Amino acid sequence: MAKEYDIAKASGVCSTCERELAGGEEFVAALFDTAEGFRRDDFCKSCWEGRSDEAEKAFSVWHSRIPLPSEPKKPVVNNNVLVDFFEKLDAQSEPAKVNFRFVLALMLMRKKMLIYDGSSDEEGREVWTMHFKSEQAAVKVIRPELNAEQIAEVGTQLGALFEVEI
């Protein structure tokens, strides 16, 4: 694969005040696109409030909750977060981001949110034409030359990012 990202899972610590987040506490996770790749920072709610500058710089933002120790670990990512991340990757040409978008498309197809319409060859690359179940507007997704192992690796990276098993 051209480039892989090492995206951290939830740290359990606020990136600003460095306070450990307690079980049951809500927090904000923000993903930043840096020269080194995607960087994830977690913020307690009080440190996030009033940080419109951080929100504007973030590639993606979502709210989550630290599970209680007694809770079984089964995190679920909000579908809107997945769609938002998918859409923000649309204009990206970096191979790792194209790979992320393709695997996100597969996830959204699995969830029956994104419908495959067909494929075409554009500039020597296979491009899938799709649409969201709730819309008719065409969405184009580049199908990178990934084998099953590489798709699984990108899925694992996305799973670590969103704290879900993919």
156: how many CB neighbours lie within 10 A of its CB?
14
Residue 51 resides in a domain: no
pLDDT in tens, 67-84: 888 877 655 677 888 898
* Range with lowest mean pLDDT among 34-38, 41-45, 83-87: 34-38
The DSSP string of 62-125 is EEEEPPPTTS-------HHHHHHHHHHTTT--SHHHHHHHHHHHHHHHHTTSEEEEEEEEETTE
At residue 2, the pLDDT reads 37
Beta bridge partners of 64: 27
Residue 110 resides in a domain: yes
pLDDT in tens, 39-57: 889 999 999 987 777 778 8
At residue 34, the pLDDT reads 83
Residue 99 resides in a domain: yes
Residue 9 resides in a domain: no
Residue 84 resides in a domain: yes
In the chain, the amino acid numbered 60 is S
147: how many CB neighbours lie within 10 A of its CB?
9
8: confidence class by pLDDT, cuts 50, 70, 90: low
165: confidence class by pLDDT, cuts 50, 70, 90: low
Residues contacting 94, CB < 8 A, separation 6+: 2, 3
Domain total in the chain: 1
- What mean pLDDT comes out for the span 18-33? 90
Residue 17 resides in a domain: no
Residue 54 resides in a domain: no
At residue 75, the pLDDT reads 54
- How much is the mean pLDDT over the chain? 83
- What mean pLDDT comes out for the span 85-90? 91
- What mean pLDDT comes out for the span 82-103? 89
Which domain range does residue 122 map to?
79-162
At residue 6, the pLDDT reads 53
Sign of the Cα torsion 132, 86, 106, 138 reads: positive
CB half-sphere exposure, 58, CA atoms < 13 A: 19
Beta bridge partners of 116: 130
Pairs from 65-68 (Cβ < 8 Å, separation ≥ 24): 65/24, 65/25, 65/26, 65/27, 66/10, 66/12, 66/21, 66/22, 66/23, 66/24, 66/25, 66/27, 67/23, 67/24, 68/23, 68/24
5: confidence class by pLDDT, cuts 50, 70, 90: very low
Residues contacting 127, CB < 8 A, separation 6+: 119, 120, 121, 140, 141, 142, 143
